[in-house]
Structure 1
């Protein structure tokens, strides 16, 4: 007899936590997105039987254990914990896993908190910064510019290498300064933590919570609206990823309301907040709010067509409104309503490789939702051309895997899946 979906989800969560894997890391191993792993673990999504062997292998389980065919759910958790942690020295950790399961009233193993699931590299980045001394503001600014260039060029490995030194130097500079210099250093520190949060979000790491919170704290101490808006945006994205969509919309809408829509210096900030709020509303299945916010953002771009660039990773332009319109309709389950926006796009005119790659990703998702496999693969190839590291993100690998095991046989897809890590 099979176990209930929630018990199966609890088993997967328990085995994953025991192996110290994040949802993103497990997703990479089995070809699923981190959000799909989350839905499976919470019992909101059924595990595809065809994927069971991949999950069993990734979690060091047998198929019988995973399918629950021989052991009842509560006993199965204990069996799996013993299998994965046989050494005496792990007894305390094993008891912690089992206590977590029993405390919920079912066989669910709940993580210790968002930051506990962060990847080791990002934990090192956020909690073990290297020693550094203060630097002149112009030198610190140069470091921030370099880091942002790595991000916008989708050079994520390079960004990961420079972030620890940047954050350590920015922290030291802020602490050593006072007055205006301290506020300016705080703004640069906020930008650094925003980059850390964005990198964590790319990796589906819960370390994004820590980075976004630190970004907003630093931004508020700067007293400048642009850093506060940017930090609020990444915090809201992190909230949305944790299914707190309504809270994300409220945060973004309230922050946008504090900005003067007639002030061209903050127009791009306001527009970007509205766009992110629209997508967050769509993620919460609030179609009316999502479309209303999109229209409001489009009106903003019409009033300020020459909004200054460089304030945010997302540019506040009509092109970006169209990109968000595609994303919103993909998320609402109405991808056909985004086709007109996609037809208007000239992706080559988008200024950064990271944004061009994200545009092609949204277009790929649209085509996939419409059942257009060949067009989906063509868009994925464009992602690879723009930013090869993007194709190895969990969400992109999951999309590639879904296409690979779909009904159509697409020339070149298997080779693409192999070099991007979707075929294991």
Structure 2
């Protein structure tokens, strides 16, 4: 065995000698217990900074762990990855994440070391090499996190990418410096920040989503609050689904939904979103029966449920959102004709955020494209761009645009749109 096969044993033996659980170790370094288990079994590669943090906690001489090879592309290795479609694969490598972190936002990230590091590293690397930061007052940290969340819902992804490194660093430092109820609240804020990182990474099919989602769930569980736990479970399940683990994603979501009271307004809304995500995951696994049953169960609770105020974890569980999921499920199941009436009755303009409206128009565009309706597909794509220009430049949307461009129907303005969104070169 090479030297890397012994690294997990070093950590495992030291943890056991101190009579610590994997969960206790994970909480200290921002990982879940399952991630620590994978590290100890050499199924998850960790960078030098993480190794040294583990060594410090476990009282391991740093020289015992510093000599192992540093991974070039840290990724949770136990979770299999399925190949991306050919038309998206090349685009995936030129992710938004590398670009958005190429320079720090002075207003949110700060200056000096954090900005310099952000300029050099993409989000994938920054999750393992967060810039140094001082603890912040909880109110200030919550305000910064709320601003980052607003950037996401407004589909200002470059702004969010600039903000995340400094925000995550400050949230980590604050969590580590607090105790009691303050630590619980700091953990919840940290969970929201990592949820945003996972959502941004998922939009570009980046492996960074695995790390961010795992850390989000670890922080959420440390908070002990059901809403952060539900939100973090949702983004982790989305990451699982995108890697082809659809059945596992469905099981996770159903398990977490079962922990929540459908009659309680705030947790009930989270439960509904988990069921909707589970329905889409089941459809991705070609399980039509389960997908439709989960949609129906979500519909039973969503009809009269308003958008739920919840601070950083405001949860949207509306009839319009459920209808968008139903369109996406039918697209995924290969039955887009069953979604046409839903799409025609849906008033996308009344949806609350630019990101949600853009996603609804995206699913509508996919539906029309699957039905061979080029003109209506293009009309929906233009609405995506109107709502959120950066959404129209996502790899999946560029692939759809290119497919439409080289299809049999000639549509005025389509080539200009394709050039503008990066689907083809000028």
Structure-2-length-normalised TM-score: 0.72
> What is the CA-CA distance between 1:122 and the residue it aligns to?
1.5
Question: Equivalent residues in 2 for 1:9-408 (5 A)?
Answer: 38=84, 121-302=122-303, 304-305=305-306, 307-308=308-309, 315-408=316-409
Deviations 1:325-356 (A, max 9, x none): 00000000000111121112111111100111
Helix, strand or coil: the match of 1:170?
helix
How far apart, CA to CA, are the structure 2 residues paired with 1:232 and 1:37?
24
Helix, strand or coil: the match of 1:266?
helix
Helix, strand or coil: the match of 2:372?
coil
> What is the CA-CA distance between 1:308 and the residue it aligns to?
3.7
> What is the CA-CA distance between 1:38 and the residue it aligns to?
2.5
Higher-RCO chain (CA-CA 8 Å, sequence separation at least 6): 1
Q: Which runs of no fewer than 5 residues in structure 1 stay unpaired?
A: 1-19, 23-34, 41-46, 59-118
Query: Quick check: 1:356–1:386 contact (8 Å CA) kept in 2?
Result: yes
Query: Quick check: 2:189–2:312 contact (8 Å CA) kept in 1?
Result: no
> What is the CA-CA distance between 1:302 and the residue it aligns to?
2.7
> What is the CA-CA distance between 1:124 and the residue it aligns to?
3.0
Deviations 1:222-257 (A, max 9, x none): 000000000000000000001100000000000000
> What is the CA-CA distance between 1:123 and the residue it aligns to?
2.1
RMSD of the alignment, in Å? Answer: 2.4
Query: Quick check: 1:274–1:296 contact (8 Å CA) kept in 2?
Result: yes
How far apart, CA to CA, are the structure 1 residues paired with 2:193 and 2:307?
26
Once superposed, which parts of structure 1, at least 4 consecutive aligned residues long, lie more than 4 Å away?
Answer: 309-314
Query: Quick check: 1:384–1:391 contact (8 Å CA) kept in 2?
Result: yes
Query: Quick check: 1:268–1:311 contact (8 Å CA) kept in 2?
Result: no
> What is the CA-CA distance between 1:420 and the residue it aligns to?
0.5
Deviations 1:172-212 (A, max 9, x none): 10100000000000000000000000010111101100000
Q: Which runs of no fewer than 5 residues in structure 2 stay unpaired?
A: 1-71, 75-80, 94-119
Query: Quick check: 1:143–1:166 contact (8 Å CA) kept in 2?
Result: yes
> What is the CA-CA distance between 1:167 and the residue it aligns to?
0.4
How far apart, CA to CA, are the structure 2 residues paired with 1:150 and 1:355?
13
> What is the CA-CA distance between 1:128 and the residue it aligns to?
1.4
How far apart, CA to CA, are the structure 1 residues paired with 2:297 and 2:121?
40
How far apart, CA to CA, are the structure 1 residues paired with 2:327 and 2:229?
27
How far apart, CA to CA, are the structure 1 residues paired with 2:311 and 2:359?
17
Decide whether aligned partners of structure 1 residues 239 and 172 sit closer, same or farther in structure 2, where only a CA change above 3 A counts: same
Deviations 1:231-284 (A, max 9, x none): 000000000001100000000000000001111121110000000000000000
Helix, strand or coil: the match of 1:127?
coil
Decide whether aligned partners of structure 1 residues 312 and 320 sit closer, same or farther in structure 2, where only a CA change above 3 A counts: farther
